[in-house]
Structure 1
């Protein structure tokens, strides 16, 4: 069993000798957590915010920057990008989504992508932005991307938990969000716990709005991809119980090919499989909810790393993380185009 422990600086002088005496192996991952947090969330005053061309995809962006970026793209790439809101958050912020794809016919199958369900996992929103960038930049030159955008729509929500994400920038803290009504193991009824399930299913306006949007399009949306951190895993249902999904062989094949494609970039190996056996049993998974509501390919990515930086992944790792993840997502999407009817 491996676990991460956070201790006050003055307590480490007591803890480390105890671990040695008990013959418990340990590694100090982050010697000064406060400094790491301050470094990640420090204000970046010199970014070029004036144009899409000057937007830096290799740094983390605040909610305001991300929403401004979405708006600019919808204006400068109106042939491929539409911006709309599915509702409002608890604190009244709009829940923006980008619809990405060529408007060639009235009905097209679709892929839903969300990032930032958990506010402290900043690499998620970074990837959502990276995906849009790559799609727009390579549409004319990459036959695979051209086919993807011509034959599918991508609904992309860069920041699901907008209130929590904004709070994590301004107060150096974090939120969790729950979007599933299957509650058993891995969920807490205590409001201060990371795994708090909420008072009732879809109790939060963000969750209710997205759930309503997905349910209305359940016949159109063929894949649900949710991006999180950290663990370097590609997970699929079920998360809330030990059981095999009916279309296991198709989903397993897609996952296997996706992690191989990902590994081809930098040699990073992802584990893959049902979330309950690959990670742990947990209730409240949006992936499980999507699958239960008729979306046949539902995946949750746990991006870099495996614990050294954890939720404080440095900006220097945004590019390699997003580059390799892009290969996996393209692979899954091409699998849909070949197999899904």
Structure 2
């Protein structure tokens, strides 16, 4: 295809995508300079404002989408409350449209079959990821096996991949890892795929991590939401699952799967309003996707030592509790493992991760998977919030994927080594 042809295709895709939404939406970076401002921002997140990132720490910036209808009152609030802010983007629709068009073009130019190693030069669909782990099981039958563990609301298959050293010892300890809880966090499955590659394809270099531990990995917790975000600009920053809920005469889709667990369900940091991003669902485990994770946790709890869930964005290594400021009795063990990951990343790349309990470092988030895993019996339970990229933070350009996932692996490997040392 000629350069002119590529440009014409790209421009045409952008025009189609731009028609789908977010025209005139803005993104602001807001930084609280005192605790009262931080509390105010958290309150806005429960009132229909879509925060792409939100920190309770004074001096730490948050990122929020503001619709044209919200703009006047939002800017007035910033002025009245003297909240430090800067405009990052004045037309989110146009920006996402161009990024969407570029991804579509990339997929047209470099289709894959799902066989052989996946590159780190683009993001993959749920089907491509599933085909890849199936292919790994076929190529390494002595060390790798894949299991269907459930189905999403829209009947997409959900599979785990278990990676071993082939010794087939019963009752080996387990590290359980998952990704793609939130649909828009595309770097999450990319990072999980890189971990799978390191353990399965690069086995000789990482055999020490598999000597006494099996790794059970669920790459895509929320396949419906993840696939939805790949349909166009209006869908790109969708967060939740896709089960429909009626509210005030309209249909709102999905619950936040990371607020849907039955441990302090629907307490602070969660919403009972279906149209809000942090909707906890009508009841605990209302979403089939969270039922899958719950059942996996309980099936592995007698052997499970560490639970690790990969999110983005914000450079955090978080541990329980997320529902309260209080710390669990064994918080020092959690802190030691999380700090091992953060220290390794900083030493290797200079990137700094904030380490601490979810509530004290970030914000209260009741009903989350890391709290439930710790409650269910995993000694170590950690949420890793990866670095952000692109204008929303959830869309690092494809050229950055390799940098991000290799950095993530440094931290994950260090945490795994610390777990193996301690347990």
TM > 0.5: yes
How far 1:8 sits from its partner (Å)?
A: 4.9
3-state SS of paired residue (1:223)? strand
Query: Does the 8 A contact of 2:114 with 2:128 survive in 1?
Result: no
- Of residues 132, 135, 155, the one that matches 1:72 is 135
Q: Is 1:260 the counterpart of 2:343 in the alignment?
A: yes
Q: Is 1:296 the counterpart of 2:357 in the alignment?
A: no
- Give the whole-Å Cα distance in 2 for the aligned partners of 1:37 and 1:250: 41
Q: Is 1:336 the counterpart of 2:419 in the alignment?
A: yes
Q: Is 1:321 the counterpart of 2:382 in the alignment?
A: no
3-state SS of paired residue (1:256)? helix
The structure-2 alpha-carbon separation of the partners of 1:51 and 1:243, relative to structure 1 and needing over 3 Å to count, comes to closer
3-state SS of paired residue (1:28)? strand
Partner of 2:331: 248
Partner of 1:161: 222
Q: Is 1:274 the counterpart of 2:353 in the alignment?
A: no
- Give the whole-Å Cα distance in 2 for the aligned partners of 1:335 and 1:46: 42
- Give the whole-Å Cα distance in 2 for the aligned partners of 1:223 and 1:18: 43
Partner of 2:15: none
How far 1:93 sits from its partner (Å)?
A: 1.2
- Give the whole-Å Cα distance in 2 for the aligned partners of 1:90 and 1:22: 43
After superposition, the C-alpha distances for 1:20-56 in whole angstroms (9 at most, x for unaligned) are 8986543232343223323443322122413644632
Q: Is 1:100 the counterpart of 2:181 in the alignment?
A: no
The structure-2 alpha-carbon separation of the partners of 1:79 and 1:306, relative to structure 1 and needing over 3 Å to count, comes to same
3-state SS of paired residue (1:243)? coil
The structure-2 alpha-carbon separation of the partners of 1:39 and 1:56, relative to structure 1 and needing over 3 Å to count, comes to farther
Partner of 1:220: 303
Q: Is 1:124 the counterpart of 2:188 in the alignment?
A: yes
3-state SS of paired residue (1:6)? strand
Query: Does the 8 A contact of 1:30 with 1:309 survive in 2?
Result: no
Query: Does the 8 A contact of 1:36 with 1:312 survive in 2?
Result: no
Query: Does the 8 A contact of 2:260 with 2:283 survive in 1?
Result: no
Query: Does the 8 A contact of 2:114 with 2:129 survive in 1?
Result: no
After superposition, the C-alpha distances for 1:161-201 in whole angstroms (9 at most, x for unaligned) are 01111111124241232342213110101111111111111
Query: Which segments of 5 or more consecutive residues in structure 1 lack a partner in the other structure?
Result: none
3-state SS of paired residue (2:365)? coil
Query: Does the 8 A contact of 2:389 with 2:397 survive in 1?
Result: no
Larger radius of gyration: 2
Q: Is 1:283 the counterpart of 2:366 in the alignment?
A: yes
How far 1:317 sits from its partner (Å)?
A: 2.0
Query: Does the 8 A contact of 2:260 with 2:290 survive in 1?
Result: yes
Residues 118-197 of structure 1 aligned to structure 2 (within 5 Å): 118-140=182-204, 142=205, 145-171=206-232, 172-173=235-236, 174=238, 175=240, 176-177=256-257, 178-181=259-262, 182-183=264-265, 184-197=267-280
After superposition, the C-alpha distances for 1:58-100 in whole angstroms (9 at most, x for unaligned) are 3111112111112111111222221111111111111111111
The structure-2 alpha-carbon separation of the partners of 1:17 and 1:54, relative to structure 1 and needing over 3 Å to count, comes to same
What root-mean-square deviation, in Å, do the aligned CA atoms of Structure 1 and Structure 2 show? Answer: 2.5
3-state SS of paired residue (2:211)? helix
Pairs aligned (count): 337
Query: Does the 8 A contact of 1:48 with 1:54 survive in 2?
Result: no
- Give the whole-Å Cα distance in 2 for the aligned partners of 1:153 and 1:56: 24
- Give the whole-Å Cα distance in 1 for the aligned partners of 2:217 and 2:183: 17
After superposing the two structures, state which structure 1 stretch, 284-293 or 3-12, moved more.
Answer: 3-12
Q: Is 1:235 the counterpart of 2:318 in the alignment?
A: yes
After superposition, the C-alpha distances for 1:120-176 in whole angstroms (9 at most, x for unaligned) are 111101111011112233311x2xx11112321111111100111111112424123
After superposing the two structures, state which structure 1 stretch, 222-231 or 40-49, moved more.
Answer: 40-49
How far 1:306 sits from its partner (Å)?
A: 8.1
- TM (norm. structure 2) is 0.74
Query: Does the 8 A contact of 2:173 with 2:213 survive in 1?
Result: yes
Partner of 1:46: 109
- Give the whole-Å Cα distance in 1 for the aligned partners of 2:76 and 2:306: 50
